[in-house]
Amino acid sequence: MSRPPQDERAQAAAVDRALAQDPRNLRALIMKADLLQRAGDAKGALAHYQAALRVAPPAERLPAELARELARARDVCRQAAERYEQSLRARLDPLDPGDRSVERFSHSLDILFGKRRIYHQEPRQFYFPELPQVQFYPREAFPWLDAVEAATDGIRAELLQVLEEEGAFAPYVQSAPGKPRIYGAAMLDNPSWGAFYLWKDGALVERNAERCPRTMAALEGVPLNRLPNRSPSVLFSLLRPHTRIPPHNGLVNTRLICHLPLIIPPGCRFRVGNETREWVEGKAWVFDDSIDHEAWNASDQTRVILLFEIWRPELTDRERTLLQSMFAAIDAAAGQKPEWEI
């Protein structure tokens, strides 16, 4: 093999000295990658391009010339990742998208190839360990949803009557002294995201529930989450046109949230972790709200769903009882009801 020109050897030595003094020297990492690339060591070059991307500050904090070099390194890494993905997928058997195990494996490949982030439960108030990290739960895990979905028309009819009353829906996020503004000022006391409660913070809202007997009957077989002064909450959740609910996490990971879509114009989407879906009227889903999630209504019409919270199916009866006792003890120690939200 022929030796590189003397000036290139000198450049390589200078780059090595710079990296010995500072292994995070961005310019030296890119120069080292370029030298390895020209020498035919594609694997070594890729490792140095990737290292440069890991240590680089935001592009706006870099000189324009170095930002362009970093963009070139990013493009090299992207092309290498695409080639690697194509090569690996070509060696795998075709995947059946209807198979739940295949779906999970497919998601693992997306994470491997950098197409999905890893999201975890991050409840803001209480974390119960060793529960599975599932964004949207498989529909078949909740056979009682059949009865809820079958009641969609009756539930929607009651909703339409409520919507005729001006002021029936209150802002979902309401200000209170000392209450953190987790959704930002734009959503605070904003009627564009509204709620009409049948149950709120573990208490039946009798006047509202009496107006919606078919809705209440549809929920009789549902394992509603029950915590003193906190759960269940059952509500019609309204999102007006061109409104976005910003990303957020729920308070606890001991519950799951159910949505039954009732009025869904086109352009209404919902994201939990990596997965974004569009609501379909009458088709319910169950998700973990302790994982980062957000919603959009990009249409010119109002979107409304029935929202309610259930126990996580993985919790035993004993664990549920312990949780109820713990939250009751917390309230007794505080001497007041908690600030809570669905």
Per-residue pLDDT band for 194 (boundaries 50, 70, 90) equals: very high
Q: Which residues contact 288 (CB under 8 A, 6 or more apart)?
A: 121, 133, 134, 135, 137, 253, 256, 257, 272
**Domain ranges in the chain?**
6-90, 139-334
The residues with which 66 forms a beta bridge, in sequence order, are: none
Burial degree of 49 (CB within 10 A; 0-12, 13-18, 19+)? buried
CATH architecture of 6-90: Alpha Horseshoe (1.25)
Query: Do 302 and 239 meet the contact criterion of CB atoms below 8 Å apart?
Result: yes
Mean pLDDT of the chain: 91
Global pTM value = 0.82
Paired sense of beta strands 285-287 and 255-263, if any: antiparallel
Both tokens assigned to 159: 């909703």
pLDDT digits (tens, 9 = 90+) for 62-75: 899 999 999 999 99
Per-residue pLDDT band for 1 (boundaries 50, 70, 90) equals: very low
The number of residues in the chain equals 342
- If you ran DSSP here, which 8-state letter would residue 280 be given? B
Position 157 scores a pLDDT of 98
pLDDT digits (tens, 9 = 90+) for 54-113: 999 988 898 999 999 999 999 999 999 889 888 888 888 777 766 777 888 888 888 888
Say which CATH superfamily domain 139-334 falls into.
B-lactam Antibiotic, Isopenicillin N Synthase; Chain (2.60.120.330)
pLDDT digits (tens, 9 = 90+) for 268-315: 999 999 999 999 999 999 999 999 999 999 999 999 999 999 999 999
